[in-house]
Amino acid sequence: GIQVEQSPPDLILQEGANSTLRCNFSDSVNNLQWFHQNPWGQLINLFYIPSGTKQNGRLSATTVATERYSLLYISSSQTTDSGVYFCAARGGSNYKLTFGKGTLLTVNP
């Protein structure tokens, strides 16, 4: 099945800084999603982005399907951005959404 790798595994920022999280996948995808898991465990949908670029406030994401990677940009980070960010992808006829191991983001005041 498809492999999903995220980097970096951990990231510590000062409030106001920008960051880029990366997701590499091993095969062509028909579904790619970015999630934020808050401290209570809730997975919050950030982007559905199998290709192209999307923006939502301070967050934006780009997926380059031909090169098999996706990037999540966080600008002007806030302490509430802290948590684990997951990339998940599905490829081919497989209905399974495969998750990466996540990036643990800590934003300090």
Q: Point out which residues bind other proteins (CB under 8 A).
A: 30-31, 33, 35, 40-43, 45, 48, 84, 86, 88, 90, 93, 95-102, 104
- Identity at 87, one-letter amino acid code: C
Q: What's the closest the beta carbon of residue 16 comes to other proteins, in angstroms?
A: 26
Q: How far apart are the first and last CA of the chain?
A: 40
Q: What is the 3-state secondary structure (H, E, C) of 15-38?
A: CCCCEEEEEEECCCCCEEEEEEEC
Task: Give me the least distance between CB of 40 and other proteins, in Å please.
Answer: 7
Closest CA relative to residue 72, chosen from 99, 103, 39, 96: 103
Q: Name which of 50 and 75 has its Cβ closer to other proteins.
A: 50
Residue number, 1 or 16, with CB nearest to other proteins: 1
Closer to other proteins by Cβ: residue 31 or 62: 31
